[in-house]
Amino acid sequence: MVAFGKKLKESQIQEWQGYYINYKLLKKKVNRYAQQLEIGAQDHHYVLKDFSRMLDSQLSNGGSKICELQEAYRGVGHDLLRLLFFVEMNAIGLRKILKKFDKRFGYRFTNYYVKTRANHPYSQLRQVFRHVGIGAVVGAISRNLADLQDHQGNYVSIYDQPALSHPDPIVHSIKAAVNKLSNSTNFLEFLGKHAFIMQDDLPSPSEDDVAEQRYHFMSLLLNLVNTFLYMVNTYIIVPTADDYSLSLGAAATVCGVVIGSMAVAQVFSSVYFSAWSNRSYLRPLVFSSIVLLIGNTLYALAYDLNSIVVLLVGRLFCGLGSARAVNRRYISDCVPHKLRMRASAGFVSASALGMACGPALACLFQTDFKIYKLTFNQETLPGWIMAISWLVYLLWLSISFREPPQEIKRDIIPQEVRAGTVVNYAVENGITQPLLLNMEPKQGENGDQEYDDGEDESCEKTRKPVTSIVSAYRLLTPSVKVQLLVYFMLKYAMEILLAEASVITAYYFIWSTNSVAIFLACLGLTVLPVNIIVGTYISNIFEERQVLLASEIMVLIGILLSFHIGIPYSVPQYVGSALITFVSAEVLEGVNLSLLSRVMSSRLSRGTYNGGLLSTEAGTLARVIADGTITLSGYFGVAKLLNATLVPSLFICISSIIATCFTYNSLY
CA pair distance 419, 92, nearest whole angstrom? 6
Q: Name the strand (E) or helix (H) holding 507.
A: helix 501-508
Supply the pLDDT for residue 396: 96
Residue 70 pLDDT grade (very low, low, confident, very high; cuts 50, 70, 90): low
Residue 304 exposed, middle or buried by CB count within 10 Å (0-12, 13-18, 19+): middle
* pLDDT value of residue 149: 60
Q: What is the 3-state secondary structure (H, E, C) of 58-70?
A: HHHCCHHHHHHHH
The pLDDT, as a whole number, for residue 592 is 84
571 pLDDT exceeds 90? yes
Helices 308-320, 255-276: axis angle to 10 degrees equals 30
Residue 426 has pLDDT above 50, yes or no: no
Q: Are 394 and 286 in contact (CB under 8 A)?
A: yes
What is the pLDDT averaged over residues 89-115?
66
Q: Looking at the predicted structure, is the pLDDT value of residue 568 above 70? A: yes
Least confident of 37-51, 314-328, 507-521: 37-51
Rounded percentage of the chain residues whose pLDDT exceeds 90: 33
Question: Between 482 and 47, whose confidence is greater?
Answer: 482
Using CA atoms, how far residue 316 sits from 220, 457, 463, 478, 656, in Å, is 27, 44, 36, 34, 30
Residue 447, pLDDT > 70, answer no
116 pLDDT band, cuts 50/70/90, is: low
- Helix-helix angle 478-499:544-562, to 10 degrees: 30
- pLDDT single digits (tens) 143-167: 666 666 655 544 445 455 544 444 5
Q: Alpha helix locations (H) across 277-404?
A: 282-305, 308-320, 324-334, 337-362, 381-400
In whole angstroms, what is the distance from residue 555 CA to residue 265 CA?
28
pLDDT confidence of residue 424: 37
CA-wise closest residue to 234 among 355, 348, 343: 355
Q: For residues 617 and 68, which has the higher predicted lDDT (pLDDT)?
A: 617
Distances (CA, A) of 648 to 22, 265, 494, 654: 77, 23, 13, 10
CA 453 vs CA 213, 375, 419: distances in Å: 30, 66, 11
For the residues 109-119, what does the mean pLDDT come to? 60
Residues whose CB is less than 8 angstroms from the CB of residue 455 and which lie 6 or more positions away in sequence, other chains included? none
369: β partners: 376
Residue 67 confidence (pLDDT): 67
Greater pLDDT, 612 or 520: 520
The pLDDT value given to residue 92: 65
What pLDDT is attached to residue 126?
A: 55
Most confident of 75-79, 230-234, 323-327, 634-638: 230-234
Selection from 362-366, 452-456, 611-615 with the highest mean pLDDT: 362-366
Give the pLDDT confidence score for residue 610 in this predicted structure.
75
Per-range mean pLDDT, top range of 113-127, 203-217, 468-482, 618-632 = 618-632
Residues 577-599, mean pLDDT to the nearest whole number: 86
What's the whole-number average pLDDT of the chain?
A: 77
pLDDT, tens digit (0-9, with 9 covering 90-100), for 307-350? 999 999 999 999 999 998 898 888 878 888 778 778 888 888 88
More confident residue, 30 or 452: 30
pLDDT of residue 436: 34
What does the pLDDT look like over 260-318, one tens digit per residue? 899 899 988 988 898 898 889 999 999 999 999 999 999 999 999 999 999 999 999 99
What DSSP character marks residue 615? Answer: H
Which of 59-63, 75-79, 211-215, 421-425 is least confident? 421-425
Count the alpha carbons within 13 Å of 44 in the hemisphere toward its beta carbon: 0
Three-state SS at 502: helix
Number of H helices and E strands in the chain, helices first, is: 31, 4
pTM of the model: 0.65
Per-residue model confidence (pLDDT) at position 252: 86
Residue 361 has pLDDT above 50, yes or no: yes
At 486, which amino acid appears?
V
Mean pLDDT, rounded, for 96-121: 63
Rounded to whole angstroms, the Cα distance separating 139 from 84 reads 16
Give the model's confidence band at 422: pLDDT under 50 very low, under 70 low, under 90 confident, else very high.
very low
pLDDT computed for residue 366 by the predictor: 83
Output the CA–CA distances (angstroms, integers) from residue 312 to 119, 189, 303, 374, in the order listed: 54, 39, 12, 19
